[in-house]
Amino acid sequence: MARALQPTREYHRLNGILKSLVCASSLWTRPKHCLKQLPWLLTHAREKHEELFPQRLVLPESKGYVPILSPTQVSSLLRSNEASEVINYNLVGQTAIRGFESNQLASNHPTEDRRAVGKLLQTGGTVFGVYDGHGGAACAQSVSERLLDYIAVSMLSHEELEQFSHALETDGQMDLVQRYAFANGYVSESLQEIFRTSLHRYVVENLSFAIDDLDEDQKPTDVIGCALTSAFTRLDADISSEVVPTRGIINVDALEVGLSGACACVAHIHDLDLNVANLGDCRAVIGQLTDHGEWRPIQLTNDHKPENQKEAQRLLASHPMSESANLLKNSRLLGLLVPLRAFGDIRFKWNLHDLKVIAEFLENQFAQNLIPKNYYTPPYLFNQPEVHHYSLSRRDKFMVIGTDGLWDMLSNQEVVNLVGGHLEGKLTTDRFRLKDHKDRRLGAVNMELVKRKTGLSHKGGDANCATHLIRHALGYEHRLVSDMLTFPPYISRLYRDDITITIVYFDEIFLSASTPDMQ
């Protein structure tokens, strides 16, 4: 419900929101692979006898210092947000997806990352998404709740749109997405009515141009790509429109969503077709096993950051030459924001007049900082995702989707090697059986035993591979991981970001049968 903004608890809450935006913009840039600097930080603190962690002094191991967390405590913390699902055994060989594993680790308090997994009931595709929030978690939370529904609506036929529209009008039941329920997930109760109204409006508008109205010669992969793009851009437009004050009344919850922002990476899988839509600096990487037994990463997305020259040139070309010197300062958009594409962040998208209206409406000490400096020709932040299609082959074993907290700490090759090694280790836990019962020659059996021995050497302590990746991202060695887990948030954010990982495992039987001759 919309509420008038008055000097009440909500007014002070908005002060906090605006203050957090200003503070977030002034944070130091986190050093790349900053884990290498951790020994220096610890040594510096010891030399200065500084209190680095709350309620304890960091002391050299030679003087009796031991990690504050035991191995059991470390593992318990790392595994607290684990999730996994294996496909029904009866469907093995019938679908490209064998299952998934996922995990999250916070650096911010609370975490600003979100994740979602869902099966589209009308079209049969499965969607995996990770969302990296900034300036608070509100936008990432909103996108994680809504984007899968927008994708589903974008793929409905005219008849299905009419049925769903009727269900929304009559409070009827027509589920579009079968969602995986993460243990730490929740919904924004105060915004559900607004979400439903905006989605219904999108459904009605789509009735004039449904997916079955497209040209018959248009490839299915192109159709899915268009649907993903439409879902992303429309959801961002709705996030923006929900902030606009009506008759002097503003919805504080919607404003919090619009002022914060979120990057997103979503993968839609149906049979052998994999479509990835990316907005910001989350990333999706395929793990491929070559015929020589080596793991090869295939990056499916581009990071939308200033370091990406193509992306930087896109930004520069979208604005007058007179603004070139101010567009990217200190490797940030207008000197403030790292990603160059994102949901939300209306302060980088709205025209100057509308931002001034919001600033005047708020009337507090932080409102003057709402409008960035050198703000002349918005929008500066792009809301259109980059969509890529990939055809799965028999060599593709898994896909890793992660927020930048993972990729800041580990390279694509390191991630693929770790997941591949962990996967090989998992396969050795089953009783040994020959894969091909027709070939029982000594050489073939020996080859299988060699592979099994290699797998045993890769067998790790974490059953969930997403946890395995997080442990390695923190340094793997117990003392390093313990220290990284006990940093207070104001130090932790300088050394790592929130980490969210989802690993999708592909069904080898299905891929081999469907692509027997693909190289």
Q: What is the pLDDT of residues 397-423, one digit of tens each?
A: 999 999 999 999 999 999 999 999 999
Cβ contacts of 165 within 8 Å, gap of 6 or more: 200, 203, 204, 207
Within a domain: 140: yes
Three-state SS at 56: strand
In this predicted structure, the answer to whether residue 52 has a pLDDT above a threshold of 60 is no
Within a domain: 333: no
In this predicted structure, the answer to whether residue 437 has a pLDDT above a threshold of 80 is no
Quick: pLDDT tens for 229-286: 999 999 999 999 999 988 888 899 999 999 999 999 999 999 999 999 999 999 999 9
Cβ contacts of 195 within 8 Å, gap of 6 or more: 142, 145, 146, 188
Within a domain: 7: no
Cβ contacts of 293 within 8 Å, gap of 6 or more: none
Residue 249 pLDDT: 85
Three-state SS at 17: helix
Within a domain: 480: yes
Within a domain: 440: yes
Residue 156 pLDDT: 95
Within a domain: 368: no
In this predicted structure, the answer to whether residue 224 has a pLDDT above a threshold of 50 is yes
Within a domain: 363: no
In this predicted structure, the answer to whether residue 43 has a pLDDT above a threshold of 80 is no
pTM of the model: 0.85
Instruction: Write the CATH number for 202.
Output: 3.60.40.10
In this predicted structure, the answer to whether residue 388 has a pLDDT above a threshold of 90 is yes
In this predicted structure, the answer to whether residue 79 has a pLDDT above a threshold of 90 is yes
Within a domain: 376: no
Residue 290 pLDDT: 95
Quick: pLDDT tens for 455-503: 544 455 899 999 999 999 999 999 999 999 998 888 888 889 999 999 9
Mean pLDDT across the chain, nearest whole number? 85
Q: Which domain holds residue 489?
A: 14-304+339-345+381-514
Matching residue, tokens 């091909």:
436
Classify residue 114 as exposed, middle or buried by CB count within 10 Å of its CB (0-12, 13-18, 19+).
buried
Matching residue, tokens 């840039």:
29
Count of domains forming the chain: 1
Residue with the larger pLDDT of the pair 366 and 133: 133
